[in-house]
């Protein structure tokens, strides 16, 4: 509690006063999908984001929105100097057709009486000459970034019919000198904050599906324990400690159970604990090492690492611990699996040619793909929609947190170079 740096981060998450008011728009259910993101022959949508009018921050807001949309790989942009129409001029499709633009984002902002910022954002369909989205937002002036991400969320959803991840967070372990701390940042690497600086070693954290809690193993006074950080109460409690090696895995999608591994009965096996009642159930009963459990989004299966074949490989079992089957047969060191929340893929780190790389595989064992080829790449974690992956890489020398699409495109570092960063975990 006292050692947790509260910051105003949650305040930022919660207090972001997004009084989003729909202003008489066409029925959402009947809305057209402009980009079918699941289409294999996907064509990028040409989009223009005009700098927002009314306040000095308007340009920054448009930049953030552009950057969010660009990172998805679903959109294509043209230089804004080519724009004919200004932010304040009424939308006219004839200004955009010659530029090959299909969708236009415009917005106006104004400082309100209480000092907050009021924004109206609109999305237009150039071909149909229609207004797809018009929404009013209100936010504190120093929360431009989360506000802009929220607007980008709505634009993305209006154009694709899917939920986005622009307001999501990535938590990771940062090492500054000898000390290892938990850090939290926006998905784009901005607004980074140190949140917990406690314990000798803290392992990769895992989110609760509602984004209000983190679970992680930490070594305190020569004892491993699993700790629960509650963002609402800004407090940390010990959830479980057997006195042996207890390692937090993923939380089940219903938010009720934390999967973990423990040597409580001699060998590291998979367990689950009910987060409310703290009731513990053992799920594997082997004489070998079983670690790193992650549950499928339907809550029926668990992927985990076992060395029952003498080397670490991925296995899938039922949620009750029965019907274990081997998933990976390529390579002789496959670890740290995470099941996509979309359900269709499992991402993991495997050794190939003496180095570790990120791979995806379907839960039925087909379609194995290697996504990285430079340096060592480990500890992958999916974005909430399963379309992006964050991971650790040492390709630039010092370990850092990277992101890429789930097919391996657009790989870039998002953590600063002055700290060793690893163990990233993307909020749900």
Partner 1 sequence: MKHIILLLMLLTLVASGCASKDVTVPDDSKKGKGIGTKDRDGKDDVVKIDRDKIREGALSEDQIRAQMASLFKDIHFAYNRHDVAEEEKANLRKIADWLLKNSHVSVLIEGHCDERGSNEYNLALGDQRAQSTKSYLVSLGVPASRLETISFGKEKPGCMEHSEECWLKNRRAHFVSSK
Closer residue to partner 1 (CB): 160 or 335: 335
Closer residue to partner 1 (CB): 149 or 399: 399
Is residue 89 close enough to count as binding partner 1 by CB under 8 A? no
Check residue 274 and report its DSSP letter: E
In angstroms, what is the minimal distance from the CB of 335 to partner 1?
Answer: 4
How far is the C-alpha of 60 from the C-alpha of 382, rounded, in Å?
28
Closer residue to partner 1 (CB): 90 or 266: 266
Is residue 176 close enough to count as binding partner 1 by CB under 8 A? no
The DSSP code sequence of 360-405 is EE-TTS---EE---SS-EEEEEE-TTSSEEEEEE-TTSS-EEEEEE
Is residue 347 close enough to count as binding partner 1 by CB under 8 A? no
Neighbours of 190 (CB within 10 A): 13
Is residue 378 close enough to count as binding partner 1 by CB under 8 A? yes
Closer residue to partner 1 (CB): 84 or 201: 201
CA 102, distance to chain mean position in Å, is: 28
In angstroms, what is the minimal distance from the CB of 277 to partner 1?
Answer: 26
Tokens of 287: 């004489």
Residue 87: Cβ-neighbour burial (10 angstroms; 0-12, 13-18, 19+)? middle
In angstroms, what is the minimal distance from the CB of 18 to partner 1?
Answer: 37
Q: Which of residues 213-242 bind partner 1 (CB under 8 A)?
A: 219, 222-224
Check residue 113 and report its DSSP letter: T
Say if residues 193 and 184 touch (Cβ distance below 8 Å): yes
Say if residues 400 and 170 touch (Cβ distance below 8 Å): no
CA 43, distance to chain mean position in Å, is: 24
Is residue 423 close enough to count as binding partner 1 by CB under 8 A? yes
In angstroms, what is the minimal distance from the CB of 289 to partner 1?
Answer: 4
Residues with Cβ < 8 Å from 97, sequence gap 6 or more? 126
Closer residue to partner 1 (CB): 168 or 292: 292
Q: Is 167 left (phi over 0), alpha (psi -120 to 50) or beta?
A: alpha
CA 260, distance to chain mean position in Å, is: 21
Closer residue to partner 1 (CB): 139 or 269: 269
Say if residues 20 and 134 touch (Cβ distance below 8 Å): no
Site stretch for partner 1 (CB under 8 A), options 38-46, 107-115, 158-166, 196-204:
196-204
In angstroms, what is the minimal distance from the CB of 394 to partner 1?
Answer: 11
In angstroms, what is the minimal distance from the CB of 91 to partner 1?
Answer: 52
Long-range contacts of 25-30 (CB under 8 A, 24+ apart): 25/131, 25/133, 25/134
Is residue 261 close enough to count as binding partner 1 by CB under 8 A? yes
How far is the C-alpha of 110 from the C-alpha of 105, rounded, in Å?
17
Is residue 178 close enough to count as binding partner 1 by CB under 8 A? no
Binding-site member from 292, 372, 390, 411 for partner 1 (CB under 8 A): 292
Q: Minimal CA–CA distance to 389: which of 369, 374, 409, 373?
A: 409
Closer residue to partner 1 (CB): 35 or 251: 251
Closer residue to partner 1 (CB): 101 or 305: 305
In angstroms, what is the minimal distance from the CB of 263 to partner 1?
Answer: 5
Tokens of 407: 């097919």
Grouping H, G, I as helix, E, B as strand and the rest as coil, residue 11 is helix
Q: Minimal CA–CA distance to 296: which of 363, 348, 247, 361?
A: 363
**Interface pattern 46-65 for partner 1 (x via CB under 8 A):** --------------------
Binding-site member from 268, 384, 400, 424 for partner 1 (CB under 8 A): 268
Is residue 244 close enough to count as binding partner 1 by CB under 8 A? yes
Binding-site member from 47, 117, 247, 404 for partner 1 (CB under 8 A): 247
Closer residue to partner 1 (CB): 335 or 372: 335
Closer residue to partner 1 (CB): 270 or 403: 270
Is residue 204 close enough to count as binding partner 1 by CB under 8 A? yes
Closer residue to partner 1 (CB): 157 or 394: 394
In angstroms, what is the minimal distance from the CB of 387 to partner 1?
Answer: 24
> Which residues of the chain form contacts with partner 1 (CB under 8 A)?
201, 203-204, 219, 222-224, 244-245, 247, 261, 263, 266-268, 289, 291-292, 305, 307, 310-312, 333, 335-336, 349, 351, 356, 378-379, 423
């Amino acid at each position: 509690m006292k050692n947790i740096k509260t910051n105003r981060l949650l305040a930022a998450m919660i207090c972001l006063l997004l009084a989003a008011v729909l202003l008489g728009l066409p029925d959402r259910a009947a809305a057209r999908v402009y980009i079918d993101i699941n289409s294999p022959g996907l064509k990028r949508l040409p989009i223009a984001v005009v700098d927002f009018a009314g306040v000095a921050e308007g340009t920054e807001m448009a930049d953030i929105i552009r950057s969010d949309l660009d990172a998805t790989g679903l959109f294509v942009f043209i230089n804004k100097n080519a724009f004919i129409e200004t932010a304040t001029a009424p939308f006219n499709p004839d200004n955009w057709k010659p530029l090959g633009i299909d969708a236009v984002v415009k917005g106006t902002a104004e400082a309100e009486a209480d000092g907050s910022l009021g924004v109206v954002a609109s999305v237009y369909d150039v071909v149909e000459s229609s207004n797809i989205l018009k929404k009013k937002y209100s936010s504190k002036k120093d929360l431009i970034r989360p506000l802009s991400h929220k607007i980008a969320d709505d634009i993305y959803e209006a154009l694709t019919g899917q939920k986005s991840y622009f307001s999501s967070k990535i938590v990771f372990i940062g090492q500054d000198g000898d000390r290892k701390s938990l850090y939290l940042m926006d998905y784009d690497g901005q607004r980074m904050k140190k949140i917990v600086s406690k314990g000798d070693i803290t392992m990769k954290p895992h989110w609760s599906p509602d984004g209000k809690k983190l679970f992680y193993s930490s070594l305190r006074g020569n004892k491993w324990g699993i700790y629960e950080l509650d963002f609402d109460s800004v407090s940390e409690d010990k959830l479980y400690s057997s006195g042996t090696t207890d390692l937090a895995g993923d939380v089940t999608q219903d938010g009720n159970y934390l999967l973990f591994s423990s040597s409580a009965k001699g060998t590291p096996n998979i367990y689950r604990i009910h987060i409310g009642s703290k009731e513990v159930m053992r799920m594997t009963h082997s004489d070998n090492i079983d670690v790193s459990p992650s549950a499928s989004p339907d809550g029926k299966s668990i992927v985990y690492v076992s060395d029952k074949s003498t080397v670490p490989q991925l296995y899938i079992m039922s949620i009750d611990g029965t019907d274990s089957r081997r998933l990976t047969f390529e390579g002789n060191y496959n670890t740290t699996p995470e099941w996509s929340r979309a359900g269709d893929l499992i991402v993991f780190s495997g050794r190939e040619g003496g180095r570790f790389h990120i791979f995806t595989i379907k839960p039925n064992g087909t379609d194995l793909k290697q996504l990285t080829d430079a340096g060592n790449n480990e500890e992958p974690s999916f974005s909430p929609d399963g379309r992006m992956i964050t991971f650790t890489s040492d390709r630039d020398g010092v370990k850092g947190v990277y992101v890429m699409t789930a097919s391996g495109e657009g790989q870039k570092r998002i953590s600063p170079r002055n700290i060793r960063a690893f163990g990233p975990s993307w909020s749900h």
